[in-house]
């Protein structure tokens, strides 16, 4: 992999040590590499200001910087064109203000999702999102990757929950947008811009979220059947007056199931369970353990080389996507599995050799695009990534996106090459 710059030989690292503290700057080891691209150093600043100063210093020194939270999703995206310094948010890990009566929280980017949820639960509240690997993933990380889970059906994704953000830009600017009130249209919504930007515009140092009450009671059911019948059931449920907080379709070779979750008062849940059983008709749903809602995470696990791609289609197209995945998998002799949420987004996992995975990704992506959807090779062995853009083909908004990147990070200091179309 050719490096973008060759400046890294004359770097004065002691200057950075001065900014972040000697004990918080260390030499990188192999575990710090991103898709095989090894940084030289890892810095862990202890305050927003220090992080901004460190970033500014790195930018001034012509270094390429990879921001890092829990490191759970560093493999997402294209391999970086170059990486000299990992800027870790691990010490920016406090929950700064839980205004429980206002149902908002101000939290630092390095706070782990699980830790935040624990603190919020003390007042019966939560961030209504169940992203991947909450015990390790940080707020900054889930924001930058726009991760979401099964609660999305009811509460939306991070863009619907974040109400304020503070970011550090490569020139050292610390900027805020939004605030700590739920309703606020003053100025541009930079929180949305930075959500899903994969750390290519700036480093998120703080976020403010609206919160929701923890459910009083919860009950889940699973239905089994053919893929087509379950997709139909999903649409019928969506068109009904039921208000599930989870509605998920799972499919693999020879089996499929639909999971549904109701939260609320005991009486409300009971009535809805009765209704959904009526809707389902001859094949009643069986009570399901809470662990069915970890399926979107379980699909990432496994020893053999695998490709986990994220797809997004219309809810009515689920069965069709699964059929495509199955066809492609069979053609390449790959094992497959799909877990999708009723909003139309999901993961498809394929297992097998790298050449086959690569062909499969390209074929599936084409087919999903023909359906009007998108497919991204998120969990992708490096060998599979070579020579392709995991994000898929750029849209007609690509040059606008590049202009945005150029305004925020004109010298491509941050995560160069990892994002769509080489951004």
The Cα–Cα gap between 362 and 371 comes to 15
Report the residue number, 190 or 292, with the smaller CB distance to another protein.
190
The number of residues that bind another protein (CB under 8 A) is 105
Residue 102 touching another protein (CB under 8 A)? yes
> Could you give the residue ranges of the DSSP H alpha helices within 109-248?
113-121, 139-145, 152-155, 158-161, 190-194, 227-238
Does position 389 interact with another protein (CB under 8 A)? The reply is yes
* Cα atoms in the Cβ-side hemisphere of radius 13 Å centred on 155: 23
Among residues 335 and 343, whose Cβ is nearest to another protein?
343
Binding to another protein in span 232-251, by CB under 8 A: 235, 238-243
| 265 touches another protein (CB under 8 A) | yes
Rule CB under 8 A: say whether 169 interacts with another protein: yes
The answer to whether 255 contacts another protein (rule: CB under 8 A) is: no
- Min separation Cβ 11 and another protein, Å: 18
Contact flag: residue 132 with another protein (CB under 8 A): no
**To 10 degrees, what angle do helices 318-331 and 354-370 make?**
150
Dmax over Cα atoms in the chain, in whole Å? 72
Residue 112 main-chain phi, psi, to 5 deg:
-75, 145
Check residue 89 for interaction with another protein (CB under 8 A).
no
Interatomic CA distance for residues 71 and 32, integer angstroms? 9
Which of 85, 76, 109 has the alpha carbon at shortest distance from 13? 85
Nearest-angstrom CA–CA distance, 230 and 245: 18
CB nearer another protein, residue 197 or residue 221: 197
Q: CB 69 → another protein: shortest distance, Å?
A: 19
- Restricting to residues 14-73, name those near another protein by CB under 8 A: none
CB of 178 to another protein, least distance (A): 9
| Binding residues for another protein restricted to 345-384, rule: CB under 8 A | 345, 372-374, 376
User: Binding of another protein at residue 185 (CB under 8 A)?
Assistant: yes
Q: According to the binding rule CB under 8 A, does residue 271 interact with another protein?
A: yes
Q: In a 3-state reduction of DSSP, which class is residue 214?
A: coil
Q: Between 21 and 156, whose beta carbon lies closer to another protein?
A: 156
CA dist., res. 68 & res. 74, Å (int):
8
Q: Segment 112-131, which members bind another protein (CB under 8 A)?
A: 124
Q: What's the min distance (Å) between Cβ of 251 and another protein?
A: 19
Distance CA 149, CA 207 (A): 19
Secondary structure letter of residue 84 according to DSSP: -
Write each residue from 298 to 337 as x if it is in contact with another protein (CB under 8 A), else as -, in one continuous string.
Answer: ------------x-xxxxx---------------------
Q: Tell me which of 132, 142, 190, 348 binds another protein, using CB under 8 A.
A: 190
Q: Which of 240, 247, 239 is nearest to 220 (CA)?
A: 247
List beta partners, residue 217. Answer: 264
């Amino acid at each position: 992999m050719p490096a973008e710059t060759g400046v890294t030989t004359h770097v004065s690292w002691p200057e950075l040590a001065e900014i972040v503290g000697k004990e918080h700057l260390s030499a990188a080891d192999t575990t710090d590499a991103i898709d095989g691209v090894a940084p030289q150093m890892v810095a862990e600043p202890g305050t927003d200001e220090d992080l901004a100063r460190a970033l500014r210093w790195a930018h001034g020194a012509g270094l390429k910087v990879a921001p890092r939270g829990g490191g759970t999703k560093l493999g997402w995206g294209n391999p970086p064109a170059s990486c000299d310094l990992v800027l870790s948010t691990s010490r920016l890990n406090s929950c700064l203000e839980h205004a429980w009566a206002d149902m908002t929280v101000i939290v630092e980017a390095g706070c782990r999702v699980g830790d935040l949820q624990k603190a919020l639960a003390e007042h019966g509240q939560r961030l209504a999102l169940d992203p991947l690997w909450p015990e390790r993933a940080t707020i900054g990380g889930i924001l930058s990757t726009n991760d979401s889970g099964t609660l999305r059906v009811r509460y939306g994704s991070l863009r619907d929950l974040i109400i304020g953000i503070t970011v550090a830009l490569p020139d050292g600017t610390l900027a805020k947008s939004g605030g700590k009130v739920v309703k606020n249209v003053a100025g541009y919504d930079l929180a949305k811009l930075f959500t899903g930007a994969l750390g290519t515009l700036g480093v998120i140092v703080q976020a403010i979220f609206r919160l929701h009450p923890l459910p009083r009671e919860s009950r889940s059911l699973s239905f089994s059947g053919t893929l087509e019948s379950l997709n139909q059931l999903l649409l019928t449920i969506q068109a009904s007056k039921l208000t599930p907080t989870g509605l998920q379709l799972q499919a693999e070779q020879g089996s499929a199931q639909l999971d549904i979750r109701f939260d609320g008062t005991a009486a409300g849940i009971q009535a809805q369970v009765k209704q959904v059983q009526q809707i389902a008709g001859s094949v009643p749903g069986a009570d399901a353990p809470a662990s069915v809602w970890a399926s979107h995470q379980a699909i990432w696990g496994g020893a053999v080389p695998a490709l986990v791609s994220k797809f997004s289609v219309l809810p009515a197209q689920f069965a069709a996507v699964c059929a495509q995945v199955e066809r492609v998998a069979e053609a390449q002799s790959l094992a497959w599995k799909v877990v999708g949420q009723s909003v139309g987004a999901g993961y498809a996992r394929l297992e097998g050799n790298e050449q086959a995975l690569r062909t499969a990704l390209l074929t599936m992506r084409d087919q999903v695009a023909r359906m009007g959807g998108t497919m991204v090779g998120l969990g992708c062995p490096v060998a599979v990534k070579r020579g392709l853009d995991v994000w898929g083909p750029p849209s007609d908004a690509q040059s606008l996106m590049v202009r945005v990147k150029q305004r925020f990070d004109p010298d491509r200091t941050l995560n160069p090459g990892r994002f769509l179309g080489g951004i």
